Structure 1
Amino acid sequence: MNNAQTTRPKITVVGSANVDLTFRTPRLPVPGETFAGHSLHQGMGGKGANQAVVAARLGADVSFVARVGNDGFATQAIDAYKNDGINTKFIRHSKDQPTGTAAILVDDEAENCIIVVAGANAELCADDVRSAKTAIEAADVVICQLETPVEAAIEAFKIARAANVLTMLTPAPAKLVTDELLALSDACVPNKTEIAAITGKAVETEADCVLAAQTLMQRGVRQVALTMGGEGVLTLDHSGMSRIPATQVKAVDTTGAGDAFTGALAVSLAEGLPLSDAASRAAIVAAISVTRIGTQTSFPSLDEVNGWNQPEETK
């Protein structure tokens, strides 16, 4: 593990790579309905790639372990990652499956619904992870999500734990979270829906949220950052509980905000910030992202975050 913070924090992300097709619509359609949308935007997505990109833009040295197809989307995605300075050495090509693709509908209220076809993401395996062992062992933080097979995440976290590297889990989709995976997760970054599914506990009140976070810690997680959208973030670790209020902005597209938060949180933890301070900084990154259309295109640079001032009309 790299503890010298005179150097750039090192983040290794194991996870999904998608191409996002974002359709802007007046409202979300109902079954059987056809109506005209405002626009179509093609960008790069996937929870893994999103988290890698935001970490890189915040100054981290990032390696990405993933699977893509042998298609034009794969070429576009890898070129985009390289433009952000991400190490793409550990991205493998599938022979039979296309690059993962997401169709995203965003309405005028910034609400969204998403359809994802996993494609090559479904082929990411433990062997792919083992091929990136050196990058995992050299990292300060290793991030995994579950848009790729859980076996890949477990293998990554086992390698990281053996090397004393902080492990961070985005537990989505929540149905794939196992006791083994939680026990290997130093930090867990769920939303309210995910933590309710994992713990089987309702999260309607703040007391419910605290109880659910405590349940995760009882199952082996050491740090919990529960994201609650407009209600802010609740953090819990051995030092206690903190409540970070939401940063108030005018949202135009919330797609990828959770990934912006997670990638930023990983960078701040790698830099040695306490969990609550890291979450406060990550909340600003997420807030900036929702003021822009798109996923990776909405993620800010380190200079933008350092120079950001909350708009007067939202204070």
Structure 2
Amino acid sequence: MVGSANMDLVVHAERLPARGETLLGGAFATFAGGKGANQAVAAARLGASVAMLGCVGRDEFGAQLRDGLQHEHIDTAHLHTVDDTSSGIAVITVAADGANTIVVSPGANAALMPDHIDAAAAGIAAAGMLICQLEVPLDAVAHAISLAARFGTPVLLNPAPAQALPDALYEQTSFLILNESEAALLTDVAVDGPASAREAAAHLRAKGVETVIVTLGAQGVWYATTGEEGHLPAPRVDAIDSTAAGDTFVGGFAAERVRGASIRDAIEFGQRAAALSVTRQGAQASIPTQAEVRAQPAFPATVR
């Protein structure tokens, strides 16, 4: 896992504020987060062996983030501590219906460099999959992906927060998992359902991505890979907090795929894990275990 580790500062409110509006919020809490760390915890809880490559500050949040990952039996040998820099934080507002807004201050995450990636080259070569996001510098992500491609290690890229990507990254990416807004930014297709997701996925496949998975929230998932494409409806649950749903999906998909599952089966496992996560509060705190997902009866299709 190459990615970010943040401390999430979460406040609950009846609804999300409009531009320029001040709302009186409710309960406040801190949770370990960051897309990289969230996905690392999700993959670990859902049955994978995980190592985390990233940076934290030499502060209380950094120590808490490291301890939290180690508690999940995640290898932190390449989680670097950066002097004179705060750990990353995310300021999150969660509405009563589970919707959220997130603003991230990268802090030490911005210190991740290609040299850090080179120091972990042996681990990347031996990995069953390399997972990356874009909350750390793009040059470090691109370097990690190029190393993985050289070693023949499959790459899963979650391009969040979305930004323009070099063509080489598409060509070296085995699995591109992205939501509607990210797909729209990368393709100029207004993605609002399965039909437009299919168009966007075809565009990204034409750039060289092997498998494209577009998550559509309540409308499920559209996926396209060599010789196969389709729409999988979302499980129906009563959501209270969607903060780490996408990260849980990524970790669940990766863990199941590395175990040898088909792409469709790995997607369905990720969906079931994400469905459980949105019924709980917090980022990493909401992520279920593999046993919890396996024990769940099949969810009805289509979120209400």
User: How do residues 202-217 of structure 1 correspond to structure 2 at under 5 angstroms?
Assistant: 202-217=190-205
Name the residue aligned to 1:75: 63
The answer on whether the counterparts of 2:244 and 2:284 sit within 8 Å (CA) in structure 1 is yes
Moved over 4 A (4+): 310-315
Name the residue aligned to 1:135: 123
Name the residue aligned to 1:187: 175
Q: How far did residue 199 of structure 1 move? A: 1.1
Name the residue aligned to 1:64: 52
Distance in 2 between the 1:118 and 1:213 partners? 29
Distance in 2 between the 1:161 and 1:250 partners? 40
1:170-189 deviation per Cα after TM superposition (whole angstroms, max 9, x unaligned): 01122142212111111100
Distance in 2 between the 1:32 and 1:205 partners? 30
Name the residue aligned to 2:242: 254
Distance in 2 between the 1:312 and 1:142 partners? 32
The answer on whether the counterparts of 1:146 and 1:176 sit within 8 Å (CA) in structure 2 is no
Is 1:20 the counterpart of 2:8? The answer is: yes
Q: How far did residue 32 of structure 1 move? A: 4.6
Is 1:84 the counterpart of 2:80? The answer is: no
Q: Which amino acid aligns with 1:41?
A: A
The answer on whether the counterparts of 1:249 and 1:310 sit within 8 Å (CA) in structure 2 is no
Distance in 1 between the 2:239 and 2:8 partners? 19
Q: Which amino acid aligns with 2:234?
A: A
1:214-257 deviation per Cα after TM superposition (whole angstroms, max 9, x unaligned): 11111010011110000001111002112111010000000010
Name the residue aligned to 2:251: 263
Q: Which amino acid aligns with 2:170?
A: L
Gaps of 5+ in 2: none
**Alignment CA distance shift 1:178-1:312 (3 Å):** closer
Name the residue aligned to 1:219: 207
Distance in 2 between the 1:270 and 1:311 partners? 24
Is 1:234 the counterpart of 2:234? The answer is: no
Name the residue aligned to 2:283: 295
Gaps of 5+ in 1: 1-12
Distance in 1 between the 2:300 and 2:262 partners? 29
Give the TM-score of the pair, scaled to structure 2.
Answer: 0.96
The answer on whether the counterparts of 1:257 and 1:287 sit within 8 Å (CA) in structure 2 is yes
The answer on whether the counterparts of 1:234 and 1:241 sit within 8 Å (CA) in structure 2 is yes
Distance in 2 between the 1:31 and 1:163 partners? 47
CA-based RMSD of the aligned residues comes to: 1.6
SS at match of 1:48: helix
Q: How far did residue 134 of structure 1 move? A: 1.4
Distance in 2 between the 1:177 and 1:98 partners? 27
Distance in 2 between the 1:192 and 1:241 partners? 17
Deviates more, 1:44-53 or 1:238-247: 238-247
Number of aligned positions between the proteins? 303
Name the residue aligned to 2:28: 40
Q: How far did residue 209 of structure 1 move? A: 1.3
SS at match of 1:189: strand
Distance in 2 between the 1:273 and 1:205 partners? 26
Q: Which amino acid aligns with 2:44?
A: A
SS at match of 1:193: helix
Q: Which amino acid aligns with 1:269?
A: R
1:151-184 deviation per Cα after TM superposition (whole angstroms, max 9, x unaligned): 1111111111122111000011221422121111
Distance in 1 between the 2:193 and 2:76 partners? 42
Q: How far did residue 84 of structure 1 move? A: 0.3
Q: Which amino acid aligns with 2:271?
A: A
Distance in 2 between the 1:96 and 1:58 partners? 35
The answer on whether the counterparts of 1:68 and 1:100 sit within 8 Å (CA) in structure 2 is yes
Which of residues 135, 139, 146 in structure 2 aligns to 1:151?
Answer: 139
Is 1:308 the counterpart of 2:296? The answer is: yes
Name the residue aligned to 2:148: 160
Q: Which amino acid aligns with 1:284?
A: R
- Percent identity for Structure 1 against Structure 2: 38
Distance in 2 between the 1:110 and 1:224 partners? 26
Q: How far did residue 31 of structure 1 move? A: 4.4
Distance in 2 between the 1:229 and 1:165 partners? 29
Which of residues 38, 44, 49 in structure 2 aligns to 1:50?
Answer: 38
